[in-house]
Amino acid sequence: MPPAAGFTGRDEELGRLRAALDPSGPGDEQAVLVTAVSGLGGIGKTALAVQAAYAAREAGWFPGGVLFVDLHGYDDAPVTADQALQSLLRALGVGPEHAWLDRERAGLVAAVHWAREGKHVDTAMRLALCLSGYLRWRRHFDDAIGVGSAAQKAAHSIGNRRCEAMAWNNLGVALHESGRVDEAIAAHVRSRDLLRDLGDRQGEAEAWHNFGNALAAKGQIDQAMEAYDP
């Protein structure tokens, strides 16, 4: 974004921003993580911030460059954090690591359901477990629930109790995040019991924690506190 033409009248504010950005300024900190400009809409906050960024670049304080992203904060649909991150990555010439997964998501999910029976069941189970975190992160909750259920059934069919416990946990988290709290509670109980039988103390503790989160979401605070400290 270019600086505003005829920018004037903000010498004091611009000086304060320059002082905050100056790497040779007083104090132990050598970098400013966040510097915010606040005020009413339309008074020139963006123009001031852009002017300060250009001044900092001209002073040689940011030799790697300065990036700008418009979050459209006053619009009906402001830019999300993920959209902002992708915009910045594209500006740097870096493609997002999940781009391939986004393109192939439907096929990968279909492959899990297709292969969960027969000779490919182990592959389907492991693929489902790998996809679980990505699907929840991208908020594809219906796919996450379907894949989690497929992983659980596949693991159970081949007697892999550890992977079955992981699948129940993933399924429980996806159900919780989609608002199906009662089903999430049941899934976390199954995960907890399997991990307890396997003697996996760390995994069991995580299952207890997720169980407590689901109970808290349902308003059962006393039971949730007991789950957090079994």
17 burial level (CB within 10 Å; 0-12, 13-18, 19+): buried
Residue 144 CB contacts under 8 Å (≥ 6 apart), including other chains: 131, 132, 135, 136, 170, 174, 177, 178
Q: Which one, of 204, 134, 143, 138, lies nearest residue 169 by Cα?
A: 204
Q: pLDDT means per 10 residues in the chain (230 residues)?
A: 72 82 64 70 81 82 77 77 74 69 88 80 90 89 94 92 94 94 95 95 92 91 86
**Residue 191 pLDDT:** 96
3-state SS class at 96: coil
**Residue 29 pLDDT:** 52
Q: Which pTM value belongs to this model?
A: 0.60
